[in-house]
Structure 1
Amino acid sequence: MIEKILVGTYTKKHSEGIYELSLDTEKRELSEVTLVGKAGNPTYLAKSKANRVYAIDAESDNGEKVGGLKIFDASNRPFDEIGKTLAPGSSPAYVTVDEGRQLVYTANYHMGTVTVYKIEADGTLTQVDQVKHTGAGPRPEQADGPHPHFADLTPDGRLVVCDLGNDTVYIYNISDDGHLEENHRFNCARGFGPRHIIFNPDTNMAYMVGELASKVAVLAYDPAAGTLALQQGISTIPRDWTAHNGAAAVRMSADHKFLYVSNRGYNSIAVFEIAEDGTLTLIDNTPSEGDFPRDFNLNHDDQFLVVVHQNSDNATLFARDAVTGKLTKIQQDVTVPEGVAVLFED
């Protein structure tokens, strides 16, 4: 079986935008990448059921920086560009699609904003709301204010936003037309730097990565109240690692028994076992076989894990043991320029 993978990149050196990899699950190998969509720093991607790809985009307008989203119809290769939503300032860090409400959400790290767009019939976007955060954390990376790094849906359809800059997780109620109303704030430990969060809908437990602390916070989510409560904190790196590390992406196996987190600096995939009560035990830290693994993802049946490396321009393919959760390297020499996002296509 051939599975297609979209890879978002930085375009600071030699990348030109969005690339596509193929995973042959029988041969257990990745193909070389092909360029499918040109964009400026498409560092995160989302794809709708209507086959539209919404990609982060950074451009220049008469010498001024503009950022937002570039929209593609993914029916053809290369993609057909169908629109843009660009505004003065830096581009967002995260994008996701809300199929039920036909909305798109972005989190803008540098601008401190969360933006909501309506999906029009042709796939293009119209902005309907935007909220701006305030506050700052104690670390140098937080000194210049709020940095929303993630905005996505909770299992019950609220919007959860991780703000790395002010150590806060926001839960917003969403109206049918896309307007946000703050429902709850969870205050992390100072300097935690919340980056991404993932939910187990069966147990209402959430797992939040702290980039600056290199930790995972285990949180109990109350869907009736829309609130979070801390249950556990656990490191993603060994105690004796003193060089820089930034925890990044988090993924969970479909059976909800294992959690995976990428470490940039320690350059590994941390493997956690999930207990029946939702708490975590670190069982392995597998070298990612590259430098600065910003993102990774599991394939459709969780047999494989693909990680891309921003600094060493390569992708690594791992086989995953469904019983132990551990990873075994299969392939590490596939060239991917400045890879920072991994999205398996439907």
Structure 2
Amino acid sequence: MIEKFLIGTYTINDSEGIFEIELDNDKKVLQNARLVAKIDSPTYLAESKKHIVYAVDRNMAQPDLRGGVASFDFNQEPAVLLQEEIETGTSDAYVAIDEGRQLVYTANYHMGYISVYAIQADGTLLLKDRVQSLGEVGPRPQQADGAHPHYANLTPDGRLIVCDLGTDRVHVYDISAEGQLSQVSELKTEPGFGPRNISFVNEKNIGYLVGELASQVSVVRYHPVDGQLEVLETLSTIPTDWTEHNGAAAIKISSDQRFVYITNRGHDSIAVFEIQADGSLTLRQLIPSEGEFPRDFNFNADESLLLVANQNSDNMSLYERDAHSGQLTLIQKEFAVPEGTCVMRRI
């Protein structure tokens, strides 16, 4: 069986946009990387059920830096660019699709705001709301220049949750039928934590919050009644004796809700945590990513395999995953894909 993945990239060096790769599940090998959509630095991707792909977009054709989100129709080959919803300023960092409300959310790291777009009948986007992330910045150098929202997606009960690396805050918003946001709660993490991403075990209302700057993961309880967040425990994603630079990055939870996986950029590893009955975590493995700066990863459909993109070494690695222990075993490395930043399994 062949599964297809789209790889978002930077286009600073050799990449020209979005790549498609194949995973042969029988042979357990990555193969056939090819450019399928030309666009500047599509660093994050999301695909709708109608096979419209929304991609981070940095347009360098204008005299001033411009950025936003682009829409591609992947029902055709090659993919057709439908729209570039861009404006003066830097590009977004994250894109998420709300199929139920037919909305798209983006987080703009450098501009410090969250945008809400309505999906039109043709798959293009119409801006409905924009919220500036606010709060006193954290103590680290990476936080000094202001708010840096890096993630905007849904809570288990359908609110919007936003991770702001710059202000050490996690915001929760109600979403109106018209796509308007209104804040209902705010969690302030430890100074310098640098919230980047969160993933939930929905049935338990437990979230796992990645602190990029602290190289930590916090176990967070979400309270649906009032939207409040409560930190239960915090663990390191790297060894205690690691003194060089590291930034915790991507996080995903296995579908059986037993294991949490987090990439470390700098230590260049994947941390594997086991979820205990009370939602707490136990570190089970730290395995090298076999490349530099592992930005993102994903599972194949049955989660027997895991693919990771190493941005700075222009390669991807493939691991076999033990469903019982959660642990990973390397089976392929040095599969060439330039500047990989996002690993998205095709719907």
Query: What range describes the TM-score normalised by the shorter chain of this pair?
Result: over 0.9
How far is 1:227 from its partner? 1.3
- Match for residue 193 of structure 2? 192
Q: In the TM superposition, what whole-angstrom CA distance separates every residue of 1:291-346 from its partner, at most 9, and x where no partner exists? A: 00010011111101000011000000000000000000010021000000000111
SS at match of 1:57: strand
Asked whether the equivalents of residues 32 and 335 of structure 1 are also in contact (C-alpha less than 8 Å), the reply is no
Q: 1:164·1:194 contact (CA, 8 Å) conserved in 2?
A: yes
Counterpart in the other structure of 2:51: 51
Contact 1:273 1:282 in 2 (8 A): yes
Q: Does 1:320 align with 2:321?
A: yes
- State the partner residue of 1:164: 165
Which residues of structure 1 form unaligned runs of 5+?
Answer: none
Q: Is the Cα contact below 8 Å between 2:165 and 2:194 reproduced in 1? A: yes
Match of 2:128 in 1: 128
Q: Name the counterpart of 1:253.
A: 254
Secondary structure at the aligned position of 1:32 is classed as strand
Name the CA distance, whole Å, in 2 between partners of 1:224 and 1:235: 30
**Using the alignment, how far apart are the partners of 1:88 and 1:270 within structure 2?**
38
Q: Judge conservation of contact 2:40–2:60 (CA < 8 Å) in 1.
A: no
Q: Which residue of 2 aligns with 1:173?
A: 174
**CA distance in structure 1 between the partners assigned to 2:183 and 2:65 by the alignment:** 30
Quote the residue 1:62 is aligned against: 62
Distance 1:136 1:34, change over 3 A: same
Partner of 2:236: 235
Cα distance in structure 1, aligned partners of 2:183 and 2:61: 34
1:202 is paired with a residue of what secondary structure?
helix
CA contact (8 A) 2:205 2:222 kept: yes
Give CA-to-partner distance per residue, 1:131-181, whole Å, 9 cap, x none. 001231110000001000000011110000000000000000000110000
Q: TM-score if structure 1 supplies the norm length?
A: 0.99
1:29 match: 29
Are the equivalent residues in 2 in contact too, given 1:32–1:334 (CA < 8 A)? no
The equivalent of 1:149 in structure 2 is 150
Q: Distance in 2 between matches of 1:205 and 1:12?
A: 38
- Structure 2 gap ranges (5+): none
Deviations 1:250-285 (A, max 9, x none): 000000000000000000000001000000011110
Mapping of 1:76-95 within 5 angstroms?
A: 76-95=76-95
8 Å CA contact 1:40, 1:59 repeated in 2 = yes
Q: How far apart, in 1, do the equivalents of 2:300 and 2:204 lie?
A: 23
Q: CA deviation at 1:61?
A: 4.8
Equivalent residue, structure 2, for 1:341: 342
| Separation of aligned partners in 1, 2:30 and 2:155 | 32
**Distance in 2 between the 1:181 and 1:59 partners?**
31
TM-score, length of structure 2 as denominator length = 0.99
Report how many residues are paired.
Answer: 346
Cα drift, residue 59 of structure 1: 0.9
Q: 1:51-107: per-residue Cα shift (whole Å, max 9, x none)? A: 100000001353101000111000122211111100100000000100000000000
Q: Deviations over 1:14-57 (max 9, x none)?
A: 10000001111001001131111111110000000111000000
* Structure 1 consecutive aligned stretches of length 4 or more whose deviation exceeds 2 Å: none
Matching of residue 296 in structure 1 with residue 297 in structure 2 = yes
